[in-house]
Every structure is written in structure tokens, then in C-alpha cells.
Structure 1
Amino acid sequence: MIQVIQAQNITLAYLKQKFALHKSEDEQFFREWFDYIPEISELEKQYLDRVKNNYLNVLENAPLLEEAVKMVVLSPLLDLAGFYGHPFYIATEESVEISEEIIIDDEDNSEETQEIIKGKIDVLVLQDKLWLLIIESKRSSFSLAKAIPQALTYMLANPQPDHPIYSLVMNGEDFQFMKLIKQDKPMYALSDRFTLYRRENELYKVVNILKKLGKVLI
């Protein structure tokens, strides 16, 4: 029997149970988001101030849908981080499928069930065929807590398990990075959460981290 599960419906509890995924509490596991972060220029800061103002101005009229979040906020971030140029390239709506076989035993018979998780990655940054960064973008009213299990599911689908994979989940106003390493038991960690609802423009930090990850990944 085959059961299809949509990635957007996956929970952390499911990932822990089916894939033995666990969260690292070691600060050294994910130093990339805070250690030796490169500075951005004053011109880049001015541009990011405009991105922040554009988002907040548009949000005054109505909550932004996912495509609007990508257009107003995500695209400028990818541009400033250098992910539109060599050696990177961008794939969108990349289909992902993970299969998990489960054997159910009872007194009378043994039944094998195959669970297939399907989804589409919003934005995937690659170098050659190497997955580098997964970005899951949601509408402005969507909680990142719901986006994190979906992004982790895509990270588990990384076809190069010997390499770490990074992710950014965002909804236009909140941003959080993740790192996952697939070992005997896959392990992940989260960065702090950044938001546009602080006096300081935290898009500066988001772009700084994206640039740092770009250097690490190369």
C-alpha cells in the first residue's frame, strides 16, 4: 500500500520518528550564522532600508501572499548575496520526493506500507549539481514554526548526504536559518530569528549571513 504525504503537512514529531532527526544543542554545530560575518556596504544598507520600507508599506494594504513576499523581499536578498551569478544558479519549484517503507506486523499477516513525501522547494541555490541552500518562503501571515518542518523535509532529501545543507525560512518579516548534517542520525540546528519589527534593520544581518554561507559553500 502506498500513502502520499504532502511536505507542507509534515511535523517535527514525524521527522523524529521516521528519520531519527534530532536537534543539536551544541553552539559549535552551526557557527556559520554568527561567526566572522562579513560587513555590508553603506550603499547595500540603503538598499535594504528601501526593501524594508517597501515591505511594510505594501503590508499596510493587505497581508502579502507568498509570490509577493518573493518579489518584494526575497529577490533583493538573493541579488545582494550574489546568488544570481557564477558559481551559483537558482532552481525554483524543484520537485522533491522521499520514500519510507514501513512493515506492519500482526498475528495474521505482515503488511508493507510505503509512505511517499512529496513537495516543491520554493528556491534552491546550487553549484553544479550540489545542493547548497534551500529557501522556503511563505505568505506574511504564515508562522515560521509551520515552515521549519517542511524545510527540514527538503533538507533530508539532499542527494549529497556527505555535505551539509543550509536553509532559510521566511515570511517577509521573520527570517531563520537552519543547518542539517546527515550522519547515522541526521542532526540540525537553528539560528536566532530575525524580524523587521525592530528598530534596527535586521535585513542587514540576513544578507550578511547569506553572504557568509556563500563563501562557506564555495
Structure 2
Amino acid sequence: MTQSLAISQAITNMAQLQQRFTLNPADSDLFFPEWHDNLPGLTETERAFLDKIKRRFVRHRMQGELAEATVNMLIVAHLLELAGLYDEPFLITNEYSVDVVLEERDEKLRGRIDTLVFQRQFWSAVIESKKSISFEAGIPQALAYMMTTPQSDKPLYGMITDGGLYMFIKLVNRDPAIYDFSDVFSLLLLRQNKLYDVLQVLKRLASVLQES
């Protein structure tokens, strides 16, 4: 009998991910240049708004841990808006249900993607906000969600955040799948606002996706 498991419970580290999916890390920086090359500039208006977003986050975070929904309201929704990911040709849905049957393990993995950006029938980006688990444990889970993509001929991008930390993922779901990570951008830096970098990457990805 097929065992049904939640991705959030079955996959909490990279070893568990590798046991269930065939995927390899990229062996060259050329695989994922989108997170650091040809990044667009930001206007003074955008920078001022990102400064306000960071101040809001810091004020709320000083009171304690923030729920995923709060992180999405305070930061993620604004980033997606500024990056143009709510507009043509993109569509967005949240709490998107996914499942995959692993016949060799007699398992069915199920889960919900926090935010899915897509064009026509093709997935473009997976956005995951994590607070119930550690940021590091959220990485293999985001990759597991990305591995359920229905297409394999286009790159798929992901962003994972716990509000204070942000990282981007690129996946090409072929046989074997190839993935790579960006640097981690932290809002814990006192005299820098790494939301500038995060928005620049999101804008760059939106441009790449529109060209593909």
C-alpha cells in the first residue's frame, strides 16, 4: 500500500531529498549567472520603499518570531509587486497543492507551495516562506516542490526566505536534474539593506522569464 507523506515531514535535509530524487548540484558558475550578472538598477523611490519595508520588518521582528503569513504580508508581497510578477505575462497563486508518486519507494509525497508564479501552463518560480522549520531545512523542501514541476525543458527558479534571510534556487528538471543556489542575503546586517539585492535578482529573473 502506498504510504502518503507530507513533504514537510519526509524531507528535512539534503540526504532525504537525494534518497527520493535524482538531482545533482551544478559544477559551474555558468549554470546560474542570473542571480549576480546583468542585474537591473533600482530607482531612488524603490530604494526608499525597501528601506521602509526593512524598518517595518525589524520593528515587528524585535517582538519575536514572525509567522509565515506575516512575513508574506510585510515583505514578500511587496517584492513580487515591485518585480512585476503580478503583471502580464505572469499569474500567481498561493497554497498550490502538489503531489508526486515515488513508485520505487511506494510513497506519495504531498505538499503546498506558498506562492507559485507561472506563465500559461508553465511554472516560472516557487516562493517559499519558512518559519515553522529552520531556513536550512527549508532548502531541500523547496527543491522537492520544484522537482514536481510538470515541465522539464525550461529552468525553474525558487526563492526561500524566513523574513531575515533570502536565497534563490535554479533547477533544470531533466535526467538527472541540475540545481544551484545563490548567495544568502541577510537583513541582519545593520548598515546595509539586502532587500536591494533581492529585488534586483527578482527583477532579473522576471526579465529572463519573459524572454524565454
TM-score by length of 1: 0.92
2:185 is paired with a residue of what secondary structure? strand
Overall identity of the aligned pairs, in %: 40
Q: Does 1:154 align with 2:156?
A: no
* 1:64 maps to which of 59, 63, 66: 66
Is the Cα–Cα contact under 8 Å of residues 32 and 213 in structure 1 kept in the other structure?
yes
- For 2:65 and 2:150, the matched residues in 1 are separated by 35
CA distance in 1, matches of 2:199, 2:98: 27
One-letter amino acid of the structure 1 residue matched with residue 121 of structure 2 = K
Q: List structure 1 runs of 4+ shifted beyond 6 angstroms.
A: none
Residue 126 of structure 1, CA deviation: 0.8
Written as runs of structure 1 = structure 2, the 5 A alignment for 1:123-202 is 123-139=115-131, 142-198=133-189, 199-202=191-194
CA distance in 1, matches of 2:79, 2:43: 14
Task: Indicate conservation of the 8 Å contact 1:142/1:171, yes or no.
Answer: no
User: Contact between 1:162 and 1:182, CA under 8 Å: does it hold in 2?
Assistant: yes
Structure with higher strand content: 1
C-alpha deviations, 1:156-181, integer Å up to 9, x for none?
01101111110000011100000011
Tell which structure's C-alpha radius of gyration is larger. 1
Counterpart-to-counterpart distance in 2, 1:61 and 1:155: 33
1:121 Cα deviation after fit: 0.3
Q: Deviations over 1:38-88 (max 9, x none)?
A: 011010000000000000001111211111000001111111001111111
Structure 1 portions without partners, runs of 5+: 103-112
After TM superposition, the score normalised by the length of structure 2 is: 0.94
Q: Tell me, what secondary structure is at the counterpart of 2:41? A: coil
Distance 2:43 2:121 in 1: 31
Query: What pairs up with 1:42-61 in 2 under 5 angstroms?
Result: 42-61=44-63
Mapped to 2, the partners of 1:197 and 1:58 lie a distance apart of 14
Question: 2 CA distance for matches of 1:61 and 1:179?
Answer: 34
